Chain A
């Protein structure tokens, strides 16, 4: 019970920050909405000139919504962690009974809430403005979102571990990981469009298997479950590796005694 209370404390602190400032909630909507608008107009135009056989809107907008969902999961963990970096809160937090896994689980709860709010908003926007429904994927949306969620957590935890290990100057890792992964995740184009070296990298990215699966559903109405299984397996492994890396980074910080001087790194 007390463990749940501590996890809730970490979650609630982030929710209080969201409530406390008019601009913070905008983060959940603003960039995703901008992306949706840009890609939405482009895909409508391409649909008009490309003919009805290519399904630009379904292929691209679905990918925009789902990749935005994954980015929000990443930031739900890593950006929440940065709040404690910026407010120098580590001494207070880790001199309490709070454990590392409780700390991370609090951020996982933040990711769930923020990603659902954000993706719900842009899915609604896509439906209202562009007549596109993400629910056209039916029940497959759940496993697709599940793999992206797990992979997003793994990425967010890894970014957190890097900043914990190397200090606040490594903050750029947090913001740069999603755009770095995007070209290799085959978000907007099939895997076959990538050069050979990139394809080998893409195979190991769980998001690639989700987006390939989504494209298969749009084109053929069916999909290969193996894509999802591979994506899920990689996501689970990466989650475990990410947490192990975070734990090792945490132990390194304790040995070096840098919690108290974190802002000076």
Chain B
């Protein structure tokens, strides 16, 4: 029995004036799968995620989510997608509870107050519910962002360095929550991170992107040895410094 493809990206391309940020990227993420999107700074990871969120218009290619064309079914699709990114701050001049309430309305979440209460507890931010988000530490804000990302129980979750500012203990808790969530609900997760240990722990599959193209794809625990590297970090460094020395493995 084939597993449902939640996200299908084909020949995705983004060109700016003199720069090709994403150059014909194709990949898919299946139900219940956590896929790591790795690459050096400027490789095209964030641009790819921005296109999947609909805040950057692709120059070419297609994005299908839940089997539907993203461009034609934007609102319907985004109602079941959510994200957390280290660079996407919630408004700092409203409280945690107020921010979650506003975004629950935007995502059409049913039984909003109950849902917010559950998430405040789950991400251990209950005590900050009446605090303005701007006053929280970066780690506390990251937990609030995760709570916001889970408001609509998304079927596709895009995480751009979600644990970047969180201490190792809380990071491990969040990783476990996401793994359990993906398995239990069949949600698809696309995860970018510079923490290779985190990627090895969480991801079923990784995609290495360099200069806007997917260079490598495979199991994060097996891929390094396939390319003669000791671990994922060494492989990452090779992708970052000498991408041409690696062969794209179809």
Contact = CB atoms under 8 A, between A and B. Distances in A.
B105 A257 contact: no
Nearest to B52: A95
Interface in B53-104: 53-57, 74-76, 78-79, 81, 83, 85, 87-95, 98, 101-103
A12 B46 CA distance: 30
Given A91-B85, A92-B90, A97 B56 contact: no
Interface in A118-152: none
Interface residues of A, number: 33
Contacts of A12: 101-102, 105
B108 interface: yes
A254 B58 CA distance: 9
A96 interface: yes
Given A5-B108, A96-B78, A87 B93 contact: yes
Given A9-B105, A87-B92, A92-B90, A254 B55 contact: yes
A198 B56 CA distance: 43
A227 B83 CA distance: 52
A19 B108 CA distance: 24
B90 A2 contact: no
A260 B50 contact: yes
Contacts of B76: 97
Nearest to B77: A97
A8 interface: yes
Q: Interface centre among A12, A98, A255, A260, by most B CB within 10 Å?
A: A260
Contacts of B83: 95
By size class, the interface of chain B is 35 or more
Contacts of A255: 57
B14 interface: yes
Q: Interface centre among A90, A91, A97, A99, by most B CB within 10 Å?
A: A97
B141 interface: no
Interface in B217-244: none
B142 interface: no
Interface string B104-125: 0111100000000000000000
A155 B108 CA distance: 31
Q: Interface centre among B94, B95, B132, by most A CB within 10 Å?
A: B94
Given A12-B105, A257-B16, A260-B46, A95 B53 contact: yes
B87 to A, nearest CB: 7
B108 A2 contact: yes
B156 to A, nearest CB: 12
B106 to A, nearest CB: 4
A89 interface: yes
Contact of A97 (B46, B79, B93, B132): B79
Nearest to B79: A97
Nearest to B55: A259
25 contacts: A2-B79, A2-B108, A5-B105, A6-B105, A9-B105, A12-B101, A12-B102, A13-B94, A20-B95, A88-B88, A88-B89, A92-B88, A94-B54, A94-B55, A95-B54, A95-B78, A95-B83, A95-B88, A97-B75, A97-B79, A97-B106, A97-B108, A98-B106, A251-B57, A254-B57
Interface of A: 2, 5-6, 8-9, 12-13, 16-17, 20-21, 83-84, 87-99, 251, 254-257, 259-260
> Closest 10 interchain pairs by CB?
A9-B105, A95-B53, A87-B91, A254-B57, A257-B56, A97-B75, A96-B106, A91-B88, A259-B55, A2-B108
Interface of B: 14, 16, 21, 46-47, 50, 53-57, 74-76, 78-79, 81, 83, 85, 87-95, 98, 101-103, 105-108, 132, 148
